[in-house]
């Protein structure tokens, strides 16, 4: 494959890398109302009748409402805790926003985010009960793209280096081909001149 072809390929790759990079940076700032539902418990009951399930809520802006709804569980069989956490984690950071043991078989409440960050929900379930957890708030459906920041930077760098290299290589190839074409043209002209001179020498004896 010629260097000019590789140059076109590298330019396309560089353009795609820039598009990916700006998508990784920009799309997580787009936020809209979101709803996620989970059947629980997420950790099966094993030897006993009690288990702890953890659920992750993507980063929510400060002072936004987070609606927690739980259905289809046995009466007084759940302990619910809502807390701030780190991005990609469900380890509590700071005091809980909510601690509740519902008395009925359904539960719904709203908590307000204290700052812009991710949140988590712990549900301790007893008596082998099951439940349906629904979380609603405003967050970015593209929040997961943030984890691709380092690969996006590496992609842009690699594509940029490849584009630079193949651009220089293509220019060298063009210069070489131009020189080769000129050399061939010069050789052809020299051959024509020699042939012309030979023809003239052959003509003179015939005219004598």
- For the chain, 208 residues long, give each residue's pLDDT as a single digit of tens: 566 677 788 888 888 989 989 998 999 889 999 999 999 898 877 777 889 999 999 999 999 999 999 999 988 899 999 999 998 888 999 899 999 999 889 999 999 999 999 999 999 999 888 999 999 999 999 988 888 888 889 988 888 888 888 777 767 766 666 766 766 665 655 556 566 655 555 455 554 4
DSSP string, 15-59: HHHHHHHHHHHHGGG--EEEEEEEEE-SS---SSSEEEEEEEEEE
Read off the tokens for 21: 């990079």
How many Cβ atoms are within 10 Å of 122's Cβ, its own excluded? 17
């Amino acid at each position: 494959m010629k260097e000019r072809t590789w140059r076109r390929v590298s330019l396309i790759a560089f353009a795609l890398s820039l598009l990916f990079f700006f998508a990784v940076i920009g799309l997580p700032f787009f936020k809209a109302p979101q709803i996620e539902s989970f059947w629980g418990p997420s950790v099966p009951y094993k030897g006993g009748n009690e288990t702890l399930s953890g659920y992750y809520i993507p980063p929510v802006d400060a002072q936004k409402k987070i609606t927690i709804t739980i259905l289809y569980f046995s009466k007084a069989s759940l302990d619910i805790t809502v807390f701030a956490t780190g991005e990609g984690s469900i380890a509590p950071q700071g005091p809980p926003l909510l601690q509740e043991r519902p008395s009925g078989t359904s539960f719904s409440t709203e908590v307000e985010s204290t700052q812009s960050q991710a949140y988590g929900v712990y549900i301790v379930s007893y008596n082998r009960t099951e439940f349906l957890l629904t979380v609603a708030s405003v967050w970015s459906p593209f929040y997961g793209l943030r984890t691709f920041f380092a690969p996006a930077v590496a992609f842009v760098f690699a594509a940029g280096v490849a584009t630079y290299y193949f651009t220089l290589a293509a220019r060298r190839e063009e210069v070489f081909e131009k020189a080769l074409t000129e050399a061939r043209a010069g050789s052809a002209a020299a051959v024509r001149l020699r042939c012309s001179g030979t023809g003239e020498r052959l003509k003179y004896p015939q005219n004598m």
